[in-house]
Structure 1
Amino acid sequence: MNKKLALVSGIASLVLTACASQQDRVTASGSYEYLKAEQRTKLQVPSDLDTPEFEDDYAVPTVKQTGNDALIGRDLEVVPPALVIPLVTGSHVQDGYKGATVLIDQVKDSETLDKTIWNSLIGYLEEKGIAVENFAPDEGRLVTDWMPVNLNEDDEGDGWFDWSSDEKSTVAKGRFLFTLELKPHGRTGQLSASLLDYKQGETSLDERNPMQVRRDEVEILNRVIGHYEYLNQLETNRRIAEIRQGLDMEMGFDSDGNPAFVLDARYDIAWPRIQLVLRKLGFNVKDLDKRNGLIFVQYTDEQVSWWKGLLSSDDAKLLDYDEYRLKVKDLGAKTSITFMDNESTPFDAKMLTDLFEPFEQVMTEDGLDI
């Protein structure tokens, strides 16, 4: 019986200690005796005496009150500032901007930036089971339904003994407005989150101070940014796997009717894959222009001799040691590669046929190093 009482007493002590420590973590330490201080009145000099001269050397200047006068003592939370974390590649925050805002640069051209951002945001809301109350992409606005705030992503699995969270027993919920503004050039978007409504038990938005509101807004925005970066990583990993995977290739023609290699791959996958193949075949890439599909190379054959067994003589080489140009064109689901000399004259069918076998062997090989 005594053991049971000791166990219950120990658990109760731990709970009380945990609750107290939660309050102590967000309030200033030390004495609050200064709250009892009173304003001293000015020295009263009797009318029959001379008034002494007063110096203003140590006068405390009047400061402009910009905050809430009620936030003093234990009512003032002393916590780290809420910071927007620009995890997404090409994202950054604007210096001096106080709102929950992130600037995102466009890093891929497969779709417009606003579509990418909205798809990521809506995907996050759907994944978390949060409804969209209003969505007006033309106006750059999305309003969410009620969603949890101030919760970590893994809070759902926490046990009753986890006292690390600052949350109360009642889950706080909020409705948020997301706004997206594109810069005139269309390659940078400004995504912002604003708290429209809040409830936690009897607490409403009017009872939240500006610091708490900003903390909620920044936390929600950081969750959205994290999901955006997660999708980017998935896309990057998928793309790397496609690039390393062997691609089928055949002889054919480009859109201008010149003899060309035709790859069974989209342009965005074929472009980096071609560079890997060229490097393994002994070509040095000197310059490239993805937008116009041009690759400038120099054939050196340095430390590359594995393919010579495919040719008729031991001293054979793919090409003369010279500079060449490749024209890469998007054919929809396929991509063409046109070899040209240094004067941009396309190779004839015979010259291209001589290159086909070693080029195809490397192009269809799986697991090329990136």
Structure 2
Amino acid sequence: MNKSLALVSGLVVMSLTGCSSQLDNQTASGSYDYLKAQQNKPIDTPASLDKPEFARDHEIPELGDGADSTLVGRKVPVTSPALVHPLVAGSHVEEGTRDAVVVFDQVDDRQPLNKAIWDSVLSFLDKHDVAVNTFDKENGRLVTDWFVVSEELEDEDSPWYALSDDITADRKRRFEFTMAVKPHGRTASLTTKLLDFEEQRGDKVSSNINELEQRREEVAILNQVIAHYEYQIQLDNTRRLAEIRQGLDSEMGFNSADEPAIVVLGKYDVVWPRMLLVLRKLGFDVKDLDKSNGLLFVTYNGGDEGWWGNLFSSDEELLEEGDYRLKLAPQGERTSVTFMNDESVAFDAKQLTDIYDSFSQVMSQDNLDI
């Protein structure tokens, strides 16, 4: 008798557990008796009487042409709507759009915006071992191969007394990524569209998917791409920060106009931000700058308390306090730094030699304060 009681108790526990399933959490709760409701006939009014006026506040509108008439009862999803997450700096979503789309604005001039986005998409696909079916970069269209996801789902047809109501479901999806770039090239939108869908639950195979589920699939994959793009940016920023803090060697040389210049053994994108640290350490204030043209407009405030103190050991100052200009220019893996007066006249070889030792000493120092 004890064994029978234990068996019955176990079945009751299993039944109660099934009452709070994953499927129940995704569908509306309560009764579905409204599905059996019939439309009442309007009141017939004799021709000799005036028809009464009825309030239309609670009138149910007619379904539109594109409405999915199968979304009734337990098939109505009650989960939160799928939203695009614009995590990348300079990204945003456009209000009112029903597509899975995100807009990027150029915030980094080191490479074209469309190249940065496509590189991130390709890197994301490679990370998930998904091949590229077709890629038309000129027309901004990429079609993926199959994404395959296996997961354990509740079997809706499983009887309440079954020992296990979970089945393995394989979901396969193919997506299309399209990019639209503004004529100025500094704004681009990336849109995701679900092209093919297939789901296998046990022996059942289905390719049907409603509009809400389709949008959820499109938004989910787009959010993953955006998150991967943001991760790559953060990783690149960390790497660049380490490079900027690392000391760089320099040597005397010439710029492209054969004017005396200090040549720093580092790429332009690393030397440019590091110059701001070096100049501050040497006693300069940066008044204005133009990275696209490599120009720095600075004011020298004196180096008595700084690294340039040894330059003024004699009665005659080698560099007067005042305004100066610097011109940075890439030379492959190197960068030339030309010192000029406030009228853009380059320093001669003697003036540059006088300041070279202190400049190179600070430029080669590791872990400058950011």
Distance in 2 separating the partners of 1:102 and 1:131: 23
Distance in 2 separating the partners of 1:11 and 1:341: 90
Distance in 2 separating the partners of 1:256 and 1:175: 54
Match of 1:82 in 2: 82
Residue 117 of structure 1: CA displacement? 1.9
Residues 267-282 of structure 1: pairs in structure 2 closer than 5 A = 267-282=268-283
Distance 1:57 1:285, change over 3 A: same
Distance 1:61 1:323, change over 3 A: same
Distance 1:125 1:59, change over 3 A: closer
Please tell me whether the aligned partners of residues 282 and 308 of structure 2 are also in contact (alpha carbons under 8 angstroms).
no
Match of 1:217 in 2: 218
Distance 1:276 1:195, change over 3 A: same
Please tell me whether the aligned partners of residues 282 and 306 of structure 2 are also in contact (alpha carbons under 8 angstroms).
no
Q: How many residues align?
A: 349
Structure 1: segments with no counterpart, 5+ residues: 152-166
Residue 34 of structure 1: CA displacement? 3.1
Match of 1:163 in 2: none
Match of 1:287 in 2: 288
Match of 1:198 in 2: 197
Match of 2:98 in 1: 98
Please tell me whether the aligned partners of residues 286 and 296 of structure 2 are also in contact (alpha carbons under 8 angstroms).
yes
Please tell me whether the aligned partners of residues 312 and 318 of structure 2 are also in contact (alpha carbons under 8 angstroms).
no
Residue 20 of structure 1: CA displacement? 3.2
Residue 233 of structure 1: CA displacement? 1.4
**Aligned structure 1 segments of 4 or more residues deviating by more than 4 angstroms:** 5-12, 49-52, 58-62, 314-318
Match of 2:168 in 1: 169
Distance 1:113 1:19, change over 3 A: farther
Distance in 1 separating the partners of 2:312 and 2:90: 50
Match of 2:348 in 1: 348
Residue 65 of structure 1, aligned match among 63, 66, 88: 63
Structure with a larger share of its residues in strand: 2
Residue 347 of structure 1: CA displacement? 1.3
Structure 2: segments with no counterpart, 5+ residues: 152-165
Match of 1:112 in 2: 112
The normalised TM-score by structure 1 is: 0.84
Distance in 2 separating the partners of 1:14 and 1:311: 85
Distance in 2 separating the partners of 1:104 and 1:35: 45
Please tell me whether the aligned partners of residues 249 and 262 of structure 1 are also in contact (alpha carbons under 8 angstroms).
yes
Match of 1:41 in 2: 41
Residue 215 of structure 1: CA displacement? 0.2
Distance in 2 separating the partners of 1:125 and 1:36: 47
Residue 285 of structure 1: CA displacement? 0.3
Please tell me whether the aligned partners of residues 170 and 199 of structure 2 are also in contact (alpha carbons under 8 angstroms).
yes
CA shift digits 1:155-203 (9 cap, x unpaired): xxxxxxxxxxxx9630211111111221111222221111111111135
Q: Is 1:242 aligned with 2:243? A: yes
Distance in 2 separating the partners of 1:8 and 1:127: 50
Please tell me whether the aligned partners of residues 308 and 317 of structure 1 are also in contact (alpha carbons under 8 angstroms).
no
Distance in 2 separating the partners of 1:279 and 1:309: 14
Q: Is 1:254 aligned with 2:255? A: yes
Distance 1:142 1:310, change over 3 A: same
Question: Identity over the aligned pairs, expressed in percent?
Answer: 50
Any idea what SS the aligned residue of 1:327 has?
strand
Please tell me whether the aligned partners of residues 149 and 216 of structure 1 are also in contact (alpha carbons under 8 angstroms).
no
Aligned Cα RMSD in Å?
3.0
Letter in 2 for 1:113: L
Residue 125 of structure 1: CA displacement? 1.2
Please tell me whether the aligned partners of residues 281 and 306 of structure 2 are also in contact (alpha carbons under 8 angstroms).
no
Q: Is 1:300 aligned with 2:305? A: no
Greater shift after overlay, 29-38 or 273-282? 29-38
Distance in 2 separating the partners of 1:100 and 1:222: 9
Residue 358 of structure 1: CA displacement? 1.4
Match of 1:335 in 2: 335
Any idea what SS the aligned residue of 1:138 has?
coil
Distance in 1 separating the partners of 2:260 and 2:25: 72
Letter in 1 for 2:85: I
Letter in 2 for 1:258: E
Distance 1:19 1:340, change over 3 A: farther
